[in-house]
Amino acid sequence: MRIVAWSGPRNLSTAMMYAFGNRPDCETMDEPFYAAFLAATGLDHPMRDEILASQPTDPAEVARLCARDGTPHVYQKHMAHHMVPGMSLDWAEGAAIIHLIRHPARVIASYNEKRDAIDEDAIGFAAQASLYDRLGGVVLDTADLRDDPRGMLGRLCSEIGLSFSDAMLAWPAGGHASDGIWAAHWYNAVHRSTGFAGPEGPPPKVRRDDLLTAALPYYEAMHARALQPSSQSAS
């Protein structure tokens, strides 16, 4: 099974990759279009040169890599905003599609801790909504995931036709072999983790009310489609 997971940045997407990667039956891919995105846009991201040197920059080549099946499963972590106009999505057809969402106030606050240059394109809410319209899929709010990792992962696995595994609830500290080279800049906190953190509490105040205002309608529309929390945990 190919599992194609879309999110914006700072959406617990790396923790989810670790959860699936800790299954003995699942490979993982970490943001395979990142270098192609940087090459296409010319944007100056942290570790830009290292990222460009670490991955293919031809979107067609990346698409061929993403179209392959796993052994037996492969979980692909993708950033919605990496799919710039002109990049084909045909490779995602037939895959199990997941959308991870998070309240934009949390995304903006977390992103600002790592990088000052931020706009709506960088946090990807509109891009993810467009991908949902194109590909459909299962939507999971990471607030619900943090409240009940076992229950929500169990529901997610059921939705995509995959058996739940207790191995998804914890992973070794220190990162994963499939981490992108950019992990040195972005993944410090998740490298210290060994599982999903607990509930987050109220959304934080943010310095960019304009970004919050722009992103919130997309988040709310996706949240309305999200898996609902259940009192029953997976078994």
Find residue 6's DSSP bridge partners: 78, 99
Residue type, 144: D
- pLDDT score of 235: 38
pLDDT digits (tens, 9 = 90+) for 187-224: 998 999 999 999 988 888 887 888 899 999 999 999 99
Give the residue carrying structure tokens 């010319």.
42
Taking 50 as the threshold, does the pLDDT of residue 232 lie above it? no
- 141: region left, alpha or beta (phi > 0 left; psi from -120 to 50 alpha): beta
pLDDT digits (tens, 9 = 90+) for 163-186: 999 999 999 999 999 999 999 988
Measured between alpha carbons, how far is 103 from 121 in angstroms, rounded to an integer?
16
Contact between 127 and 147 (Cβ < 8 Å): no
Q: Where do the domains of the chain lie, and which CATH numbers do they carry?
A: 2-223 (3.40.50.300)
Taking 90 as the threshold, does the pLDDT of residue 10 lie above it? no
Report CA-CA distances (Å) from 41 to 63, 133, 154: 18, 23, 38
Mean pLDDT score, 13-34: 97
The kind and range of the H/E element at 105 are helix 104-114
Q: What is the DSSP letter of 177?
A: T
- Both ends of the chain: CA-CA distance in Å? 21
- pLDDT score of 231: 54
pLDDT digits (tens, 9 = 90+) for 57-110: 999 999 999 998 878 999 999 999 999 999 999 999 999 999 999 999 999 887
